[in-house]
Amino acid sequence: MAWMLAALLAIGASRPNIVVVITDDQGYGDIGAHGNPVLKTPNLDRLRAEGRRFTDFHVSPTCSPTRSALMTGRHEFKNGVTHTIFERERLAPGAITVAEILKAAGYRTGIFGKWHLGDEDAYLPNRRGFGEVFIHGAGGIGQTYQGSCGDAPGNRYFDPAIWHNDRFVKTKGYCADLFFGQAMRWMDKGGGEPFFCWIATNTPHAPLDARPEDAGRYAGKVAPDVAKFMGMVANIDDNMGRLLDGIKASGREKDTLVVFMNDNGGTAGCKVFNAGMRGQKGTPFLGGTRASSFWRWPGTLTPGDIGALAAHVDVFPTLVEIAGVKLEGKAAAQVEGRSLLPLLRDPASPWEDRHLVTHVGRWPEGKMADYKYAACSVRTTRWHLVNPDPRGKKGWLLFDVKADPGERSDIAAANPAQVAAMERHFDGWWDSVQPMMVNEGVRGPAVNPFKERYWKQFPAEKPAAR
């Protein structure tokens, strides 16, 4: 707690309510306003139109890594997060989260939906700064893997069992509706202090389990699997409309910052539209990392585009500065992102060029050294150096993404000095993250913790031992 008390220093900010909505596997192209020819997202389009939107904002190619970088302001590998399962999704115990900072600054903090940064007791969000917890386990409802990463047994997108603070509740309804509804009720229960609300849907991640009426909106227009996917996005859009309308009806609209984003590149929707990008989820191309990033704060932020190169690591320092917090000590040393507040105020603000490193990770156990160059990239404002080989064979491709945003023309052979300079940056980065990959080789428990908790609460449902 000492670090938190030492880290707080008001800088005269207005301490708004902060709502962050992050969706799972919805790509940049899965929004109507981004040019999708089929999918309709009127509420997300409205949110985008009414706020600042980053047009060159990047995350990790998969979900746990992105979430860890958002929570901490530093690259996922420095949080020990190099995968989405097998204990390599657990947020390092020493990492300080944005929720911890905001809670210490007097914010109510709540998370609703997906956590995916560790399911064991020591890693749960109530230990990481969230006062209100309403989540599923693992990376998705019903998922289960060997070790600690697994949801409650038998869970599905309809009527799931949800971990609410310290016990399971058996819900009725569709998962995304439940998460938004619970979050909105929680917002209304406060006693006047500002709130930090993190809504993380598990949709539209597979399995493509949409409400029939939502999938029906696109039936016959696209392939059946894409119709389900688009129906799940439409459901998210409906909930975003309810959220925005609810905030307005409560009288909090001008006191509330709403941030919307997605967690990695697109998936099923890419079959229809991918905004002209190469690659998708799980790749180091722009199609694997480019994300939506909408920031709406009526009366404070003027709507418009921001073209600067920004990333997930920038969200933590931005939110704490908006909340009136100056980081010091360990918290300040942890953050490698930049506050986006100057750009939010004025998109023409000076913004020094930078290097952003992407690595898909997910190497086989014990093979980290062999996969140094596997599915990785280095990005600056103009250049993107990419090694797409998933096995680690080095073969750099270079793109001038300002002239070639679709990454169609490899110009590495014509620019050897640029390739060499960016490779040197990557090599230095790789060496720097090695000591912080604390989850490599860790063995998880024999039974998923969520299952153990569930069976302890509902012993009659535990399968008989064989």
Which domain CATH number covers 220? 3.40.720.10
Is 466 domain-assigned?
A: no
Determine phi and psi for 166, rounding to 5 degrees.
Answer: -135, 15
Is 445 domain-assigned?
A: no
CA 152, CA 168: separation in Å to the nearest integer? 9
Structural domain span for residue 401: 356-436
Element holding 196 (H helix, E strand): strand 195-200
User: DSSP string covering 116-148, please?
Assistant: -S--SGGGSGGGTT-SEEEE-SSSSTT-B-SSS
Asked if 311 and 66 count as a contact pair (C-beta separation under 8 A), the reply is no
Beta-bridged to residue 290, according to DSSP, are: 58
CA distances from 362 to 288, 385, 390 (A): 15, 20, 10
Q: What is the pLDDT at residue 1?
A: 43
Statement to judge: residues 178 and 264 lie in one domain: yes
Q: What is the pLDDT at residue 300?
A: 96
- CATH label of the domain that carries residue 384: 3.30.1120.10
- For 281, the token pair is 């989820």
Q: What is the pLDDT at residue 248?
A: 98
Residue of 68, 434, 17 lying closest to 255 (CA atoms): 17
End-of-domain residue from the set 345, 378, 406: 345
Asked if 243 and 235 count as a contact pair (C-beta separation under 8 A), the reply is no
Statement to judge: residues 300 and 196 lie in one domain: yes
Statement to judge: residues 207 and 281 lie in one domain: yes
Is 452 domain-assigned?
A: no
Residue of 280, 308, 281, 278 lying closest to 380 (CA atoms): 308
End-of-domain residue from the set 323, 345, 367: 345
- For 415, the token pair is 């620019």
The Cβ-side half-sphere exposure at 120, using a 13 Å CA radius, reads 17
Q: What is the pLDDT at residue 7?
A: 38
Is 450 domain-assigned?
A: no
Number of domains making up the chain: 2
End-of-domain residue from the set 321, 345, 369: 345
Helix orientation angle between 42-49 and 224-249, rounded to the nearest 10 degrees:
50
**Sequence letter at residue 114:** K
Looking at 282-405, list the stretches that DSSP marks H as alpha helix, in order from N- to C-terminal side: 286-289, 315-322, 329-334, 341-345
Statement to judge: residues 88 and 233 lie in one domain: yes
Statement to judge: residues 68 and 123 lie in one domain: yes
CA 86, CA 333: separation in Å to the nearest integer? 28
Q: What is the pLDDT at residue 466?
A: 63
Is 459 domain-assigned?
A: no
Statement to judge: residues 301 and 372 lie in one domain: no
Statement to judge: residues 296 and 377 lie in one domain: no
- Kindly provide the b/e burial profile for residues 230-267, where b requires at least 16 CB atoms within 10 angstroms of the residue's own CB: bbbbbbbbbbbbebbebbeeeebbebbbbbbbbbbbbb
The one-digit pLDDT tens for each residue of the chain (466 residues) are 444 433 343 333 579 999 999 999 999 999 999 999 999 999 999 999 999 999 999 999 999 999 999 999 999 999 999 999 999 999 999 999 999 999 999 999 999 999 999 999 999 999 999 999 999 999 999 999 999 999 999 999 999 999 999 999 999 999 999 999 999 999 999 888 999 999 999 999 999 999 999 999 999 999 999 999 999 999 999 999 999 999 999 999 999 999 999 999 999 999 999 999 999 999 999 999 999 999 999 999 999 999 999 999 999 999 999 999 999 999 999 999 999 999 999 999 999 999 999 999 999 998 999 999 999 999 999 999 999 999 999 999 999 999 999 999 999 999 999 999 999 999 999 999 999 999 999 999 999 999 999 999 999 999 987 6
Statement to judge: residues 123 and 202 lie in one domain: yes
Statement to judge: residues 231 and 317 lie in one domain: yes
Statement to judge: residues 286 and 333 lie in one domain: yes
- For 135, the token pair is 């989540």
Asked if 161 and 171 count as a contact pair (C-beta separation under 8 A), the reply is yes
CA 200, CA 202: separation in Å to the nearest integer? 7
How does strand 52-54 pair with strand 290-291?
unpaired
Is 462 domain-assigned?
A: no
Cβ atoms within 10 Å of 369's Cβ, excluding its own: 10
Helix orientation angle between 63-72 and 315-322, rounded to the nearest 10 degrees:
40
Statement to judge: residues 236 and 328 lie in one domain: yes
Q: What is the pLDDT at residue 191?
A: 81
Statement to judge: residues 306 and 216 lie in one domain: yes
Is 30 domain-assigned?
A: yes
Following CA atoms 140, 143, 145, 147 in sequence, which dihedral angle do they give, to the nearest 10 degrees? 70
Is 430 domain-assigned?
A: yes
pTM of the model: 0.96
